[in-house]
């Protein structure tokens, strides 16, 4: 009797695995027997809208061009080893090309090196694989597609110059201190405003809305003459906007962010933020698939492809929201 219960439990366990596995898409043949190519994509965690849009872009482009795509994402933004496990599992299925957005510069290097060694193209999107690590592992990336963060910072700087009429005190709010992306955006901004605007303070707010609110409140009380804020991402810019509103100076102090998340586009439309430099994870995803197609068709790929960015102000915020998450203006695409 007791054994029967156990057997039933075991059968139940087996069944539930089958049932849950059945929720997935059809198993990948991976070998392209149906004539079309099949690509594999490994991206970061889908708990972030940025990567959800990237997934949408990858899916849309794959459907558009009639290729099979299998997309896997990491469990979270810190799941470096789990993402490597997922890539390894997919690497064994022999896709014709791989699109990857690694969590860190090194976590996928080993798996990618093995894929590339077999002559399969690897397209790196968004977060770059560390060049030093790649060369030590003998990994050659077919192409890299991502936002030029220095350029994004420059665009923000130029927009700030316009907003302030060419002079004034500004404060910069960066992400986690020492972060490469944050550093590049702040550098770009600084280059653009050099000799014109006076940067009185640079703080790190860890990409976090709440921390940015606190730090901006402190900056505002210490420097009442502040004329503008630049934040390295939109979440922090929204936090700063709240701090400015709390200080009773809403609309007086221009705030510029980077990313172009939906909340920020709405804040720009409402006048809480002056502008955002939008980047397009959706377009980056699309371009990743396009690059894979080009590579499998035997075409030449540029080593680097700069993904589009666009300045969104009150004038075009409505347009940007309507097209969201796709870019609202045409951009030059060397992969098309």
Partner 1 sequence: MATTQAAPAATPSADDSRRKLSELPWPELASTLGLIALAVIFAIANPGYLSEGNVSAILQAAAILIVLTIGQTFVVATGGIDLSVASTMTLGAIVLGEFYALGWNIWLAALAGLVAATLVGVVNGLVISKGGITDFIVTLGTLSAASGLALIIADGKKTTVIEPSLIKLSVNGIWLFSWAVIIALGLAVIAHVVLFHTRFGVHVLAIGGSAESSRSLGIRVWMVKTGVYVISAALAGVAALLVVARVGAAEPAANTAFLLNSVAAVVLGGVSLFGGRATIAAPVMGAILLTALVNGLTRVGLSEFYQPLTVGVVVVLAAFLTRFNR
Site for partner 1, rule CB under 8 A: 2-3, 5-6, 9-10, 12-14, 16-18, 20-21, 23-28, 30, 45-46, 70, 72-75, 78-82, 84-86, 88-93, 104-107, 109-110, 113-114, 130, 132-133, 136-137, 176-178
Question: Residue written as tokens 């939008």?
Answer: 278
- 301 φψ region: left (φ > 0), alpha (ψ -120 to 50), beta (else): beta
Q: Are 108 and 42 in contact (CB under 8 A)?
A: yes
Q: Which CB atom, from 73 or from 184, has the smaller least distance to partner 1?
A: 73
- Rounded to a whole number of angstroms, the minimum distance from the CB of residue 124 to partner 1 is 15
In terms of CB distance, is 106 or 223 closer to partner 1? 106
What is the nearest approach in angstroms of partner 1 to the Cβ of residue 127? 13
Rg (CA), the chain: 23
The single-letter DSSP state of residue 26 is P
The CB-of-305 to partner 1 minimum distance in angstroms stands at 25
Q: Which is nearer to partner 1, 20 or 195 (CB)?
A: 20
Of 121, 125, 127, residue with least CA distance to 141: 121
What's the min distance (Å) between Cβ of 105 and partner 1? 7
- Residue 109 Cβ vs partner 1, minimum distance, rounded to whole Å: 5
Query: At closest approach, how far in Å is the CB of 149 from partner 1?
Result: 18
Q: Shortest Cβ distance from residue 336 to partner 1 (Å)?
A: 28
Contact 330, 285 (CB under 8 A): no
Q: Which is nearer to partner 1, 192 or 205 (CB)?
A: 205
| H or E stretch covering 236 | helix 234-246
Backbone dihedral region of 98: left (phi > 0), alpha (psi from -120 to 50 degrees) or beta? Answer: beta
Residues 6+ apart with CB under 8 A from 267: 237, 238, 241, 273
Q: At how many degrees (to 10) do helices 234-246 and 262-270 cross?
A: 40
Judged by CB, which is closer to partner 1: 191, or 210? 210
Pick the closer one to partner 1 by CB: 130 or 262.
Answer: 130
Residue partners of 153: CB distance under 8 A and separation at least 6: 184, 185, 186, 187, 188, 189, 190, 191, 192, 258, 277
Q: How far is the CB of 1 from partner 1 (least distance, A)?
A: 9
Give the length of the chain. 336
| Shortest distance (Å) from residue 235 CB to partner 1 | 18
List of residues 6+ apart from 162 with CB closer than 8 A: none
- Indicate the residue among 92 and 195 with the shorter CB distance to partner 1: 92
Q: Which residue, among 111, 79, 80, 81, has the nearest Cα to 98 in the 3D structure?
A: 111
Give 73 or 170: the residue with its C-beta nearer to partner 1: 73
| 197 contact partners, CB below 8 Å, separation of at least 6 | 157, 160, 161, 164, 167, 168, 169, 170, 228
Q: Which is nearer to partner 1, 114 or 266 (CB)?
A: 114
């Amino acid at each position: 009797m007791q054994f029967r219960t156990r057997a039933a439990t075991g059968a139940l366990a087996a069944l539930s695995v089958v049932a849950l596995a059945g929720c997935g898409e059809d198993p990948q043949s991976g070998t392209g027997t149906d004539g079309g190519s099949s690509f594999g994509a490994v991206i970061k965690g889908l708990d972030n809208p940025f990567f959800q849009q990237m997934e949408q872009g990858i899916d849309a482009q794959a459907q558009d061009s009639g290729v099979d795509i299998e997309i896997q994402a990491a469990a979270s933004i810190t799941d470096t080893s789990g993402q490597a496990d997922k890539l390894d599992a997919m690497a064994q299925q022999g896709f014709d090309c791989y699109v990857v957005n690694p969590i860190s510069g090194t976590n996928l290097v080993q798996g990618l090196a093995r894929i590339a060694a077999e002559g399969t193209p690897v397209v790196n999107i968004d977060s770059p694989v560390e060049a030093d690590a790649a060369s030590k592992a003998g990994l050659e990336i077919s192409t890299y597609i991502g936002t030029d963060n220095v350029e994004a910072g420059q665009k923000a700087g130029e927009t700030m110059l316009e907003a302030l009429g060419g002079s004034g005190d500004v404060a910069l709010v960066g992400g986690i201190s020492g972060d490469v992306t944050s550093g590049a955006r702040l550098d770009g901004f600084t280059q653009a405003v050099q000799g014109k605007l006076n940067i009185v303070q640079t703080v790190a707010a860890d990409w976090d809305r709440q921390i940015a609110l606190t730090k901006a409140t402190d900056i505002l009380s210490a420097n009442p003459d502040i004329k503008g804020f630049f934040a390295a991402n939109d979440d922090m810019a929204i936090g700063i906007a709240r701090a400015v509103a709390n200080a009773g100076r809403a609309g007086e102090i221009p705030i510029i962010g980077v990313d172009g998340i939906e909340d920020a586009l709405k804040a720009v439309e409402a006048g809480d933020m002056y502008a955002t430099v939008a980047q397009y994870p959706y377009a980056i995803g699309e371009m990743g698939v396009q690059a894979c197609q080009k590579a499998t068709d035997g075409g030449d790929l540029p080593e680097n492809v700069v993904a589009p960015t666009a300045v969104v102000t009150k004038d075009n915020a409505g347009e940007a929201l309507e097209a969201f998450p796709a870019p609202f203006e045409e951009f030059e695409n060397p992969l098309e």
